């Protein structure tokens, strides 16, 4: 069932000025929300253009850097661009990757790279862009956090060009992470093996 798209009159008050400034802005209220991957898949379904981008809403990543992320796709050099906090040219500001998250992200990216035979430096960063053709080419199964690794792994399996793009990361400015590091890491590893080995299936 397709979630309703809110009308202008039902927009939350803080968004109304944005709609006046950018008439093409669409507000989609996602109910029921089954997780981050589900929310992104709903966004894809409601989108209208051939190049798509996703950025986390906690303000850890900078919307001003979206043109940099999109550049390899728009210039015809890539089909998917992964924002990376761990590649040359990136900037990790103090507190942006706390505790075990830095080593954990590197480990998950290393495991994904080994599975795919293609180096990826930050598969878990919540800033990605891709051509619509990419996500239309395979069955997307993750409603939760594992979508972060499902997209690049399956894109590579389909033969699409995936590149890393350096980005800036700030400390989280809003909300709280619900990720439990050890449990999430174990789930990600199991899911990555599944995404790499199981049949891709038809487009979702």
Q: What is the pLDDT of residue 173?
A: 65
Q: What is the DSSP letter of 75?
A: T
Give the helix/strand (H/E) hosting 43.
helix 36-46
Q: Please report, for residues 152, 187, 197, the alpha-carbon distance to residue 129 in angstroms, rounded to integers and kept in the order given.
A: 11, 24, 24
Mean residue pLDDT of the chain comes to: 87
Q: What is the mean pLDDT of residues 116-129?
A: 95
Q: pLDDT-based confidence at 176, cuts 50/70/90?
A: low
Which residue segments constitute the domains of the chain, with CATH numbers given? 50-197 (3.90.550.10)
For the ranges 4-13, 28-37, 91-100, 191-200, which has the lowest average pLDDT?
Answer: 4-13
* Parallel, antiparallel or unpaired: strands 80-84 and 91-92: unpaired
pLDDT band at 40 (very low <50, low <70, confident <90, very high): very high
Higher pLDDT, 89 or 6: 89
**Quick check: 90 pLDDT over 80?**
yes
CA angle 53, 125, 44 (to 5 degrees): 30
Q: Where does residue 73 rank: exposed (0-12), middle (13-18), buried (19+ CB within 10 A)? A: buried
Residue 32 has φ and ψ, to the nearest 5°, of -80, 150
């Amino acid at each position: 069932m397709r979630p309703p798209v809110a009308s202008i009159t039902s927009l939350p008050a803080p968004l109304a000025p944005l709609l006046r400034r950018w008439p093409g802005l669409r507000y989609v209220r996602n109910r029921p929300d089954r997780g981050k991957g589900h929310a992104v898949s709903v966004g894809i379904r409601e989108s209208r253009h051939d190049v798509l981008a996703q950025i986390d809403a906690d303000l850890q990543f900078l919307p001003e850097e979206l043109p940099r992320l999109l550049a390899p796709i728009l210039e015809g050099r890539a089909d998917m661009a992964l924002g990376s906090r761990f590649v040359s040219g990136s900037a990790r500001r103090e507190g942006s990757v706390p505790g075990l998250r830095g080593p954990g992200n590197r480990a998950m990216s290393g495991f994904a790279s080994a599975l795919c035979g293609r180096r990826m430096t930050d598969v878990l960063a919540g800033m990605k862009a891709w051509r619509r053709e990419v996500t239309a080419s395979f069955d997307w199964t993750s409603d939760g956090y594992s979508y972060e690794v499902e997209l690049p792994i399956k894109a590579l399996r389909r033969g699409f060009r995936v590149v890393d793009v350096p980005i800036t990361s700030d400390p989280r400015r809003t909300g709280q992470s619900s990720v439990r590091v050890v449990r999430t890491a174990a789930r990600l590893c199991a899911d990555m093996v599944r995404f790499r080995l199981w049949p891709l299936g038809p487009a979702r």
